[in-house]
């Protein structure tokens, strides 16, 4: 349940630029996603931790990917692996929309 909620939050933040195109309630979702974007680094780190704890599921794997993209600014400060994680975040960042859509869908499915 927590992993699903975290996946929805991470997916919304990753899609904050596109979520406004959703008919009917896109404006509300976009404002909420932009507000959550202020906590992007923190959400990324929490997503990685929850993803590692739920590693053997699709939700956990998507949370790790989303967390690396969202937490890139914080992860680059890690002494031993910061540069490698920053490069990985740049590669995954080019797939941000796809990762966001899949993470959001997996999170919504996980609630049911």
For residues 35 and 57, give the distance between their C-alpha atoms in angstroms, rounded to a whole number: 28
pLDDT at 9 over 80: yes
Half-sphere exposure of 46 (CA within 13 A, CB side): 14
Residues contacting residue 41 through CB under 8 Å, at least 6 positions apart: 70, 71, 73, 74
Taking only the tens place, the pLDDT of each residue in 14-61 is 888 777 777 777 788 888 888 888 898 899 999 999 999 998 888 999
Angstrom distance (rounded) from CA 31 to CA 10: 15
Percent of the chain's residues with pLDDT above 70: 99
Residue 106, pLDDT score: 95
pLDDT band at 92 (very low <50, low <70, confident <90, very high): confident
Would the pTM of this model clear 0.75, i.e. be above it? yes
């Amino acid at each position: 349940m927590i992993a699903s909620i975290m996946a929805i939050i991470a997916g919304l933040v990753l899609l904050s630029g596109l979520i406004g195109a959703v008919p009917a309630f896109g404006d509300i979702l976009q404002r909420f996603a932009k507000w959550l974007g202020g906590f992007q680094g923190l959400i990324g780190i929490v997503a990685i931790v929850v993803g590692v704890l739920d590693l053997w599921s699709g939700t956990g794997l998507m949370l790790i990917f989303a967390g690396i993209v969202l937490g890139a600014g914080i992860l680059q400060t890690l002494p031993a692996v910061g540069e490698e994680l920053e490069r990985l975040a740049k590669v995954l960042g080019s797939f941000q929309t796809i990762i966001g859509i899949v993470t959001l869908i997996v999170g919504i499915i996980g609630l049911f």
